[in-house]
Amino acid sequence: MPRHKTPSADTCPVARSLDVIGDRWILLVIRDAFDGIQRFGDFQRSLGVARNILSDRLRRLVEAGVLRARPASDGSAYQEYVLTAMGRGLFPVVVALRQWGERHLFENGERHSLLVHKHSRKPVPFMAPRGQKGMVLSAEQTEVQKVP
């Protein structure tokens, strides 16, 4: 997947990711793209965002290689924005944001949307970092080796 922007010189992958997607509107656009939204007007209605902000975020996402713009599949004059392979790679990021919100930002019994496995209709289980043998790793059990 080609990237069109020079990546930051940072050797921390978290920082480099945030240079591309460290923005609330950007992450909401990505969420909506995973939900199947493709057109400018549909993003706008879903997000209630100003046109100029949405234009800017879509442009940045296309430039970064996260979204691809293509002519609408129905032959109309519209453009569609779809996730590239690089963009679909953000699925764990969106799931992690969702699961943190579910656990910490809703009261008991408060209703929220649910991510389910299409086949079983069951909720997607909590996703956690795991070690080589499959055991869940807490942050305390890990450390970051910096580039010397």
* Closest residue by Cα to residue 112 from 102, 124, 125: 102
Residue 91 DSSP code: H
Binding mask 100-139 for its own copies (x = CB under 8 A): xxxxxxx----xxxxxxxxxx-x-xx-xxxxxx----xxx
Task: Provide the CB-side half-sphere exposure for 31 (13 A, CA).
Answer: 15
Rounded (10°) angle between helices 40-47 and 24-34: 120
Q: How far is the CB of 77 from its own copies (least distance, A)?
A: 28
Q: Among residue numbers 67 through 106, which ones bind its own copies (CB under 8 A)?
A: 86, 88-106
Residue among 119, 140, 141, 117 at smallest CA distance from 127: 117
Stretch that binds its own copies, among 14-22, 37-45, 50-58, 71-79 (CB under 8 A): 14-22
* Part of the chain binding its own copies (CB under 8 A), chosen from 15-23, 37-45, 53-61, 68-76: 15-23
Which is closer to its own copies, CB of 50 or CB of 114? Answer: 114
